[in-house]
């Protein structure tokens, strides 16, 4: 029978191109947001975070943008490499629940060589 599960959006990019992964969050009271990368067979790995009082934060080859007006978060990866292929999750910190993270469904990034 057909299996039913989360249908994760997939982003396919050519090696060397820039990638933009988007995320919508639900709670305007969340005080920070985190992007995680999960490779096959591994646990999620921290990439970058951003406080709610910031609009942009840059790391090594990654930039996170936060638009609080529309509750939107994006992760930009410059010069995407095959090793960037993974599932990417955004997470928002919910202080009202004792500082616990609520994760999005995830986006699959596939890098074509």
Partner 1 sequence: DAGVIQSPRHEVTEMGQEVTLRCKPISGHNSLFWYRQTMMRGLELLIYFNNNVPIDDSGMPEDRFSAKMPNASFSTLKIQPSEPRDSAVYFCASRDDRVREQYFGPGTRLTVT
Q: Does 42 bind partner 1 (CB under 8 A)?
A: yes
Q: How far is CA 49 from CA 1, 16, 68, 85, in A?
A: 40, 24, 15, 20
Q: Does 90 bind partner 1 (CB under 8 A)?
A: no
Residue with tokens 């490779």: 39
Q: How many residues bind partner 1 (CB under 8 A)?
A: 25
Choices 19-27, 58-66, 70-78, 94-102 (CB under 8 A): range interacting with partner 1: 94-102
Q: Which one of residues 89, 90, 92, 107 is an interface residue with partner 1 (CB under 8 A)?
A: 89
Residues 6 or more apart whose CB falls under 8 angstroms from that of 111 comprise: 12, 13, 14, 15, 19, 80, 81, 82, 84, 85
By the criterion CB under 8 A, which residues form the site for partner 1? 3-6, 32, 34, 36, 42-46, 49, 89, 93, 97-106
């Amino acid at each position: 029978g057909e299996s039913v599960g989360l249908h994760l959006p997939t982003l396919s990019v050519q090696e060397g191109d820039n990638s933009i992964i988007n995320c919508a969050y639900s709670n305007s009271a969340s005080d920070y947001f985190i992007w995680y990368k999960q490779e096959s067979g591994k646990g999620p790995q921290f990439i970058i975070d951003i406080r709610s009082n910031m609009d942009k934060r840059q790391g090594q080859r990654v930039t996170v943008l936060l638009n609080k007006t529309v509750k939107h978060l994006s992760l930009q990866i410059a010069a995407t490499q095959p090793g960037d292929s993974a599932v990417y999750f955004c997470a928002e910190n919910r202080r009202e629940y004792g500082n616990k993270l609520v994760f999005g469904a995830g986006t699959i990034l596939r890098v074509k060589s």
